[in-house]
A and B are shown apart, each in its own frame.
Chain A
Amino acid sequence: MSLLGRIAEKTSRLSCLRLMSVYPTHYVEPIVQKYKQLEQKNDLSKLYHVPIKAAVNKSSDTIFHDDTKHKMINYITKKGNSALARTLLSKTLELIKRTQTEHMNLAKGEKTTINTNPETLLKQAVENCRPLLQVTAIKRGGVTYQVPVPITTKRSYFLAMKWLLEAAREKERKVSLPEKLAWEILDAAHGQGRVIKRKDDLHRLCESNRAYAHYRWS
């Protein structure tokens, strides 16, 4: 093992390549969905002689596959029980559908303005909960400051989904998770609720600490 590590280090030092990567840099990503292949029919001839990476295990061509939903299932999962997480999210989306349908039936006019699609409501909730900045603890001269730092897109999506789940899990223990999560998603999709307040509190904290913004290093 030490010999292999030394050989890898020597080779990587000489050739400046990442040896641990599965694919070289000239491989292109696969186009999994068939409708995307049909959309880019004219450009497919350029890919005849270009090596293509293998498709990821979780990628799918079905219309029920969605990246946000898939990532939400991953965050709900505890102890590797993905089947339970998928069931919980299905119940959540079903509850959202039933609630919005009931609101649509109870509304006198303006029936068409109520959105009953739970997937778009989930995406809307996650978009509404994404923060713009976060605070980082930076120590200068023995004092630890909370410095506002711009956030990356992936990190903001992660924080949004984590906050939704945390807000759902810390409510009443006797109420099941799909009900709590459905209410949190509906509140966040309409721009209210505890997760929106948490994001606003983070923004206010960043604004109050704006004087320390130059302490960060990037």
Chain B
Amino acid sequence: MRVPGALFAARGRAPQSEKDVPFQEILPLRLKNTVSGKADSGSDVACLQEMGVLFACLKDNEFVEKYCHKEISQFQNCYKCYMDRKFEAKKTVNQGIVQPGSNLNYKQLNKYMRRYPNPV
């Protein structure tokens, strides 16, 4: 047994003084008043199945559109419905109609938090 260990055995290691190591705030310790909309962007890719069916029909018929009328109309109707639905959703969001209990869009959340920010 070494002598310094024996001498200090009764006291143990002294606690670290807080003045020697001051606290640094690396990231802010409060929540932001904005919500990012990136998570919503990649989730809704429209008309993939109709596009696959259209490509299969075109490939079978040497890319002559005469024989693929049904697939073409299905694909175009799908895209038209998607764009109409997107336009209606955007108009609803811009009008500010919010139902209680439903999931808020990130724009609506940002609008609320712009009006009622987190207390500092």
Contact = CB atoms under 8 A, between A and B. Distances in A.
A16 B94 contact: yes
Interface stretch (A81-89, A158-166, A201-209): A201-209
Contacts of B55: 206-207, 210
B109 interface: no
Contact of A150 (B41, B51, B94): B51
Nearest to A130: B65
Interface in B35-81: 41-42, 44-48, 51-52, 54-55, 58-59, 63, 65, 72, 75-76, 79
Given A132-B65, A200-B63, A214-B48, 5 more contacts: A16-B94, A132-B54, A133-B51, A203-B63, A217-B42
11 contacts: A16-B95, A132-B65, A132-B76, A150-B47, A150-B75, A150-B76, A207-B58, A213-B45, A214-B48, A218-B45, A218-B46
Contacts of B96: 16
Interface residues of B, number: 25
Contacts of A203: 58, 63
B42 A132 contact: no
A10 interface: no
Contacts, number: 44
Interface string B86-113: 1000000011100000000000000000
A206 B65 CA distance: 14
Interface in A185-218: 200, 203-204, 206-207, 210, 213-214, 216-218
Nearest to B41: A217
Contacts of B63: 200, 203-204, 207
What 5 pairs across the A-B complex have the smallest Cβ distances? A150-B79, A207-B55, A200-B63, A210-B55, A203-B63
B47 to A, nearest CB: 6
A13 B59 CA distance: 50
A191 to B, nearest CB: 9
